[in-house]
A and B are shown apart, each in its own frame.
Chain A
Amino acid sequence: MTSTVSSAISMTMSDAAEVLKGSGAAGESLEVRGVFKSFGGLKAVQDFRLSLPPAALYGLIGPNGAGKTTCFNLLTGVYRPDQGEITLGGKSLIGLRPSEIAFTGLARTFQNIRLFGELSVFENVKLACHLRTTHSLAGVILRSGWQRAEEAAIRERARALLQVFNLHDRMDESARNLPYGDQRRLEIARALATGPKVLLLDEPAAGMNPQEKKDLRKLIREVRDVFGVSILMIEHDMGVVMDLCERITVLDYGVPIAEGTPHEIQKNPKVIEAYLGKE
């Protein structure tokens, strides 16, 4: 692949590979089995299961309140499952703190954008590179050679990522001053900066106009191709989901009611019922 004007990623494949060097985008699969979660009496998620192979692009859909975001929160350690198994590359994620899960290789975006608003675009991405640094506080105080080398590496990596996402000319702007669509893309860039194996996108197209949605489709596909990460995506826009996703899981009232290719899902009577109600 070469860098083209029409491409959403404005960098060559080799450039991008350089950016992600040493971030461990190696092929590892995410396995979820029998995960339950209730909030008081509300059974938010019941028997959620998923098998996400390396470099896959899967979708998670369902009506509002079906428990999709809760699934993401369970995967990333914001909530602890009542029962069930979650493993990444064979390593269990149950009971780990969200920061440890991020270190293991699971990164996410948020349905209600959660950027570091006062910090600049550049700093948002630089921060996400922090988890792979190893220098100590003493290194910070003394400005040790190692600390400065790591800071330089962070700057380079963050700059390259922003170039990939075409955000580099707004690098010094406060994140909160970006237009909405750019904020969504910055969240993806920030998540990628953590060096993930699996990327969870929570309604990335929400609030975008048709042109932005079209660009986003291209962007997501290229992120998967270029960076080699697996992507699990929650999305309401069926155009985006059906176009991008190889397989789709459908949640309804916290229960996975169907799983399959977009074609299978579209024809599944249970899915139609969940979305349109019983005839």
Chain B
Amino acid sequence: MTALVIWQFLWPFGLIILVPVVLGAIGGSAWRVFWPLALALVVGVLMQHQVRTNMDAYSSKQILDVGIAIILAVSLTIVNGFTGQFSIGHAGFLAVGGYVAGSITYYGSFALFGSAGATLGTMSGLYGAKEGAAFVTGGEGLFLFALLAGGLIAALLGVVVGLPSLRLRGDYLAIVTLGFGEIVRVLIQQTPQVLMSKDAIAAAKPLSVPLSVGGSLGFGNVPKYTSLFWVYAAVVLTLIFAYRLKQSSTGRAMLSIREDEIAAEAMGVKTTYYKVWGFAIAAFFAGIAGGLYAHTIGISLSPVDAGFQKSFDIIIMVVLGGLGSISGAAIAAAIVTYLPELLRTPDTLMKFAVVGVPMLVIGGALLAMAGKPDQGPGKKRGHDPRAFPRAVIGLGVIITGLSILAFVAKRFGINLSDYRLILFALALIVMMITRPQGLLGVRELWDGALYRPLRDFFSARRAEGGAA
């Protein structure tokens, strides 16, 4: 039954999906171009379809937020994680992308369709279109164009912000990026009121029209096209692109800059070139995320979206997930976005103990069993059979800690979600002390090297068993 419904959504895309399948079968290289698009479509359609059948409005909005956060975190990973340039003004690009795209669809809709209302097709709008809506609409075309335009303008600014990184290092560069975010925020604050009607637009100076985005009053009238389809299609494409980049020679060039800029340059890496590209690519995806955010129902863009608070949220995701890890950033983005919700429901959080306490017990037992680091084949530098039990205990401590926190909060009637920022700051401090490289370090979830502690643990055990 579900399959049938999904097919109803997918069949118009059938050609787009079939073409790469056929190409792949004949062995054409075009397969590699098309499969990400096909996957993006399938994932997008599946997500959109889920909304109509299973989810309430509130949950689907949260899933949408998670998707946008993933795009943002993965984009920042390219600057902070790959090239190692510490940018703390990433929200500036989000805001630029959002305002540019929002202005294009809002005023573009007036120009093209006579009003600013969204003309939703089947795949647009968080809660879907009305019965009998067209499959795709011209409004969606405008929306897609606006997203790309927002991304490209943000990328251009990324180049401008990236240029100081050629001369500045570390803290100084961070301050420049911070300044960039604040400049964007202040500039947006100065923009004139949104023009609400055709007459108002006709009366205004043509050049000032696209800049009339509401200043500090916010820009809430953007047509609400964003849906789980668009967001998750973008998530899939962002993830695939970031991974392809990381796996490529170009990505290695970026990583080498972060590891040792002087050595990278000496090995022939044009460090300035790749640093600027890093900024441009990251800004592009942040701009796309901004565009998606701007067209989300219930969102009113405001200058605050360019501010440090927002940038800090994204940094937390990247640092917690592991600088340079795409999957780490994505996981952390999901957790950081979803945690406030969990904090609102202490009862759910308390149940975490069911998982956390056994992890503590098992981890403790394994630690007792584990050999010393200088025994067996674990003797090589960097091999420690105790790393795996420690990781289990570490995760156990976090999970159990959360449920204890929830218990205490419930007992004393504290609303944990009020303390969200303190909790994140604490999490960051604990992470910096116990695992400074973040959850996954530079590795991906599926990298074998990530599971080396597991191997070290068992190989040390086996060696001991053999000796006995």
Q: Does B52 lie at the interface of the complex (its beta carbon under 8 Å from any beta carbon of A)?
A: no
Query: Can you name 21 A-B residue pairings with CB atoms under 8 Å?
Result: A76-B266, A99-B269, A99-B270, A107-B267, A110-B262, A110-B263, A110-B266, A114-B262, A114-B263, A115-B260, A118-B442, A127-B269, A131-B267, A131-B269, A135-B249, A137-B250, A141-B241, A141-B244, A143-B33, A177-B380, A194-B268
Contact partners of A130 in chain B: CB under 8 A: 249-250, 252-253, 267-269
Q: What residue of chain A has the Cβ atom nearest to residue B280's Cβ? A: A137
Asked if B400 CB lies within 8 Å of chain A CBs, one says no
B259 touches A116 (CB 8 A): yes
Question: In the complex, what residues of A have CB within 8 A of residue B251's CB?
Answer: 140
Q: Which residues of A contact B187 (CB under 8 A)?
A: none
Residue of B nearest to A175 (CB): B259
B250 close to A140 (CB less than 8 A): yes
Say yes or no: B245 contacts A143, CB within 8 Å: no
Query: B residues near A, CB below 8 A?
Result: 29, 32-33, 241, 244-245, 248-253, 255-256, 259-260, 262-271, 277, 324, 380-383, 437, 441-442, 448-449
Is A97 among interface residues, defined by CB-CB distance under 8 A? Answer: yes
Asked whether, in the complex, the Cβ of B33 is within 8 Å of the Cβ of A177, the reply is no
* Additional A-B contact list (14), CB under 8 Å, known A102-B266, A114-B266, A127-B252: A78-B262, A97-B270, A98-B262, A110-B266, A116-B264, A117-B260, A123-B252, A127-B249, A127-B264, A130-B252, A130-B268, A133-B249, A140-B250, A177-B382
Q: Tell whether, in the assembled complex, residue B267 and residue A127 are in contact, meaning their CB atoms are under 8 Å apart.
A: yes
Query: Hey, which chain A residues are within 8 Å of B252, CB to CB?
Result: 119, 123, 126-127, 130
Determine how close the nearest CB of chain A comes to the CB of B334; give it in whole angstroms: 24
Mask of A164-186 contacts with B, CB within 8 angstroms, 1/0:
00000000111011110000000
A210-255 contacts to B, CB under 8 A, are none
Q: Which A residues are closer than 8 A to B by beta carbons?
A: 76, 78, 97-99, 102-103, 107-108, 110, 114-120, 123, 126-131, 133, 135, 137, 140-145, 147, 150-151, 154, 172-174, 176-179, 190-191, 193-194
Nearest to A177 among chain B residues (CB) is: B382
Min C-beta distance of A157 to chain B, whole Å = 12
Structural contact, B256 and A119, CB atoms closer than 8 A: yes
Q: Given A114-B263, A115-B260, is A137 in contact with B277 using a C-beta cutoff of 8 Å?
A: yes
* Contact residue among A78, A108, A144, A177 (Cβ-Cβ distance under 8 Å from B29): A144
In angstroms, how far is the closest chain B Cβ from the Cβ of A262? 29
Contact partners of A119 in chain B: CB under 8 A: 252, 255-256, 259, 442
Which residue on A lies nearest to B272, using beta carbons?
A97
Which residues of A are found within 8 Å of B269, using beta-carbon distances? Answer: 99, 127, 130-131
What's the Cα separation between A259 and B263 when bound, in Å?
A: 30
Once bound together, how far apart are the Cα atoms of A143 and B10, in whole Å? 26
> A176 to chain B: which residues have CB within 8 Å?
382
Kindly report which residue of chain A lies nearest to residue B253, judged by CB atoms.
A130
Q: Which of A76, A98, A140 contacts B245 (CB 8 A)?
A: A140
List residues of chain B with CB within 8 A of the CB of A191.
Answer: 267
Q: What 10 pairs between A and B have smallest CB-CB spacing?
A: A131-B268, A177-B382, A102-B268, A116-B259, A114-B263, A143-B32, A98-B265, A140-B248, A128-B267, A145-B29
Q: Are A129 and B265 in contact (CB under 8 A)?
A: no
**In the complex, what residues of A have CB within 8 A of residue B33's CB?**
142-143
Minimum CB–CB distance for B97 against chain A, Å: 19
Given contacts A126-B249, A143-B244, A147-B248, contact A99 B263 (CB under 8 A): no
Residues of A within 8 A of B260 (CB): 114-117
| Cα separation A99 to B381 with both chains bound (whole Å) | 32
CA distance A151 to B246 in the complex (A): 13
Across the interface, name the chain B residue whose C-beta is closest to A182: B381
Given the complex, which residues of B lie within 8 Å of A114, measured CB to CB?
260, 262-263, 266
- Other-chain contact of A115, B263, B277, B437, B449 (Cβ < 8 Å): B263
Known pairs A118-B441, A150-B249; A140 contacts B263 (CB<8 A): no
- The residue in chain A whose Cβ has the minimal distance to the Cβ of B252 is A127
Task: Please determine whether A178 and B266 come into contact, CB atoms closer than 8 angstroms.
Answer: no
Residues of A within 8 A of B449 (CB): 120, 172, 174
Q: Separation in Å of the A103 CB from the closest CB of chain B?
A: 5
Q: How far is the CA of A39 from the CA of B266 in the complex (A)?
A: 21
For B441, the chain A residues whose CB sits under 8 A away are 118
Kindly state the separation between the CA atoms of A265 and B14 in the bound complex, as whole angstroms.
79
Decide: B271 and A99 in contact? CB cutoff 8 A. yes
What residues of chain A lie closer than 8 Å to B255, measured between beta carbons?
116, 118-119, 123, 127
CB distance from B303 to the nearest CB of A (A): 33
